[in-house]
Structure 1
Amino acid sequence: MRTGFPNAKPGMVIGLLGGSFDPAHEGHVHITHEALKRIGLDRVWWLVSPGNPLKARQPAPMPARIAQARRMLKDDPRVVVSDIEARLGTRFTADTIARLQELYPGVSFVWLMGADNLAQFHKWDRWREIMERVPVGVLARPGSGLKARLSVAAQVYRGNRVARGENLAHRNGPAWVFVNVPMSAASSSEIRAKGQWKP
């Protein structure tokens, strides 16, 4: 594997949690640990994005966001914080997943997202391609459960919903699960609004 890219062996199941992580907070850590436990993942990679195409405001510098993410994880060996999208030069999730599948033959990937993202997933570039390429684990977020369950993506793929998280990891897309987890109300936008994030 190329320098700066995470290690993974064929047969492993890797959860991918993408986002600006501006800043990373205990909510990210919480859903990561829940995904590891409930979906049967070997590792989770945090894909710290260069920027979010759906947001006008651009995030803090990448080194500051990566450093904060690593502090939040406290050296958990099961979680890798990566700037892989910047290294790959990919801007959209569908492209990132396609490149990872090329680079890591034999590795199974699961896309992870909070329920708040599922509610607006149909606005993502080539969202159907993402659903077709990899299984998707959706983790409950405060105030987003009903919106997520009634979302365009949930309706289009209602026949592909899996009842339990542990049944997801070795499936091909399209397959998704909604995982009810104890919730954290932490929010990057609230942390920034309160002036608690000084990159």
Structure 2
Amino acid sequence: MEHVFPTVKRGQVIGLLGGSFDPAHEGHAHITRTAMNRFGLDRVWWLVSPGNPLKERGPAPMADRIHRAKQVMNDPRVIITGIEERLGTRYTAETIAALQKRYRGTRFVWIMGADNLAQFHRWQDWQTIMRSVPIGVVARPGHSTSAKTSKATQVFNTSQLLPRESRALGRSDAPKWCYVNLPMSDASSTAIRARGDWG
């Protein structure tokens, strides 16, 4: 399933959680469950990337990362996919544009942790991403202040939905973003690799 394009019903709201998932862990699953509940999503696709342009170290083989991700996130509403490899896209803005072209009539929401929002302005074409899809941001340990005061939040301050309005995000038109708190998981791929539990 990870090497084919997922099927969707017209009008569905699909959350997109991108990353190297090197390896996938409970923190990813925790963010996914929260996003589905809080942002009004019908499905979530994990986009296991060929490689993160912001990271110097290359990831483990794609097949290994997808296999691990399926073990971590066993939910029929969540699809683990290597679709970026199939699309031939490397940057998030390119991926979103390709998906919107391929899946006309489908609403996409980009999901990210607060740690990514804090440095979102470093992403390729980040303002294009903000104007292309609504963005759901989930709190991450130690990143609340840096995320809430980031360049992205300042530039798009007037586009923020309040947490109590979060379920409207999936049906909102970009630019729109929402930051929600939750009981946090401090799991991280970096810590797992450091312990030697992966790869």
Give the TM interval when normalised to the shorter protein.
over 0.9
Aligned to 1:160: 159
2 CA distance for matches of 1:9 and 1:96?
20
2 CA distance for matches of 1:166 and 1:175?
12
Look up the equivalent residue of 1:88 and give its one-letter code. L
- Deviation digits for residues 29-50 of structure 1 (CA, Å, limit 9, x no counterpart): 0010010011110000000000
- The runs of at least 4 consecutive aligned structure 1 residues that moved more than 3 Å come to none
- Deviation digits for residues 21-71 of structure 1 (CA, Å, limit 9, x no counterpart): 000000000010010011110000000000000000010000000000000
Look up the equivalent residue of 1:161 and give its one-letter code. Q
Percent identity of equivalent pairs: 59
Aligned to 1:102: 101
Aligned to 1:72: 72
1 CA distance for matches of 2:140 and 2:149?
15
Aligned to 1:82: 81
Partner secondary structure for residue 112 of structure 2: strand
2 CA distance for matches of 1:15 and 1:117?
16
Give TM-score scaled by structure 2 length.
0.97
Look up the equivalent residue of 1:14 and give its one-letter code. I
Does 2:171 match 1:180? Answer: no
1 CA distance for matches of 2:88 and 2:135?
23
Give TM-score scaled by structure 1 length.
0.97
Aligned to 2:190: 189
Cα deviation for residue 73 of structure 1 reads 1.2
Aligned to 2:46: 46
Does 2:31 match 1:59? Answer: no
2 CA distance for matches of 1:146 and 1:42?
30
Aligned to 1:12: 12
Look up the equivalent residue of 1:56 and give its one-letter code. E
Aligned to 1:24: 24
Gaps of 5+ in 2: none
Aligned to 1:34: 34
Look up the equivalent residue of 2:145 and give its one-letter code. L
Aligned to 1:147: 146
Partner secondary structure for residue 99 of structure 1: helix
Look up the equivalent residue of 2:84 and give its one-letter code. E
Aligned to 2:128: 129
Q: How many residues align?
A: 195
Partner secondary structure for residue 10 of structure 1: coil
Aligned to 1:169: 170
1 CA distance for matches of 2:77 and 2:11?
16
Partner secondary structure for residue 161 of structure 2: coil
